[in-house]
Amino acid sequence: MKLTYILLIILLINLVKAENIKLEITEFLPDPEGKENTNMENMEFIEIYNFGEELINLSDIKIQNKKNNSIELKEFKILNQKEYLIIHPSKHFSLKNKAEEEIKIIKNNTIIDTVKYSNSEESLSWSKINNSWILTQPTPGKENIIQNNKEIINIKSVNPKNIKFGDFIIISLEIYITKNTEFYIWVENSKKLTKELYFYLEGKYKFYSLKMPVQIPFNCNNEFNQGKYYLKIKSNENIEKKEIIINNSNKSICSKIIQKEVLIKENSTIKKETIEEYNKTQVIYSSKDLKQRKISLYFFSITLIFVIISLVIENGKQRNKSPRNNRSSRLS
């Protein structure tokens, strides 16, 4: 009887200790994007959180799945108050993607917290938000938030503030995407001032912070009006714009550009004139040579005609003499 009483007291003490442990499952990722590998950013994980005000000794705490496979947390030793712990399942412990699954936190065979699910979506985690479980973008080791299902484009800033024609401007962007997306950036007013700059972002429910450079063309010939323009960034689903003011190009730079253009133009003119003069000389020389050839051919033709005529006449004379000579020899 005394032994039974003692065992009951020990059991009650353990139950009280388990209830006092402020530990809960706050997030888990059953199906990482693509093929899972050894990269921590592309592995299953379970997130637990110490929501109490005291340190928690993890030496006799484990995570267990529906098959009763488990991961012991003693290697992590201590979990501080208000701190998250990320656990990556191993070969002998994994989370199901589609079938019914259960995750439990257990201390001395007592369940501290448990959660069940029967489906998942690639690259999205189950996150506990306001005591509800929601599929959203993974935030391992951070407070869970409901992700927006719409794409967000935010033009934070454009530098320099005083923009002139010919400047390179740096655009600071914050972009939230829900899927792989193509983007285009350009500057325009009534017509496009710059060419479209293309870039591509990959991922589901991902946030990007980036800087993009755009070249504003020079305006030394006053082709464009200075004043108000719009910087625009566009995707298939969204378009965002920001008003910017562009002033005229730097005069000293423009003078150098104009001088260079004039020099290039002068050089090209000199070269063109030289080529034309050279071609003209070649044509004159060619015409004299051709004339001499014609004269030579003319005299050669006349000479040849005279020679032929002389030969014909000489041949005719010989024919006329031959019959007479033959007759005189027969009469004698």
Residues 118, 159 within the same domain: no
The larger pLDDT score, comparing residue 271 to residue 121, is at 121
| Residue 187 contacts residue 231 (beta carbons within 8 Å) | yes
**pLDDT of 91:** 78
- What are residue 327's phi and psi, to 5 degrees? -65, -45
The larger pLDDT score, comparing residue 101 to residue 296, is at 101
pLDDT at 70 over 80: yes
Q: What percent of the chain shows pLDDT beyond 90?
A: 44
Does residue 119 lie in a domain region?
yes
Residues 21, 131 within the same domain: yes
| Residue 136 contacts residue 206 (beta carbons within 8 Å) | no
**pLDDT of 60:** 93
Of 44-53, 100-109, 155-164, 172-181, the least confident = 172-181
pTM: 0.46
**pLDDT of 301:** 76
Return the HEC string of 61-119: EEEECCCCCEEECHHHCEECCCCEEEECCCCCCCCCCCCCEEEEEEECCEEEEEEEECC
Confidence of residue 35 (pLDDT cuts 50, 70, 90): confident
Does residue 310 lie in a domain region?
no
Residues 187, 104 within the same domain: no
The larger pLDDT score, comparing residue 219 to residue 6, is at 219
| Residue 127 contacts residue 26 (beta carbons within 8 Å) | yes
**In degrees to the nearest 10, what's the CA dihedral of 300, 303, 305, 309?**
-160
Residues 181, 233 within the same domain: yes
Distances (CA, A) of 240 to 89, 162, 306: 42, 21, 96
Considering 125-139, 173-187, 250-264, the range whose residues carry the highest mean pLDDT is 173-187
Residues 62, 87 within the same domain: yes
**pLDDT of 8:** 47
For 255-280, what is the mean pLDDT?
A: 60
Confidence of residue 82 (pLDDT cuts 50, 70, 90): very high
**pLDDT of 33:** 83
- What are residue 262's phi and psi, to 5 degrees? -65, -45
CATH of the domain at 42: 2.60.40
**pLDDT of 106:** 96
pLDDT at 284 over 60: no
Tell me the average pLDDT of the chain. 81
Does residue 241 lie in a domain region?
yes
Q: Domain total for the chain?
A: 2
**pLDDT of 313:** 76
For 315-331, what is the mean pLDDT?
A: 55
pLDDT at 278 over 60: no
**pLDDT of 253:** 75
Summarize pLDDT for 9-26 with one digit per residue, the tens: 444 444 445 557 899 999
What domain range includes position 26?
2-136
Confidence of residue 286 (pLDDT cuts 50, 70, 90): very low
* Residue position matching structure tokens 């794409």: 151
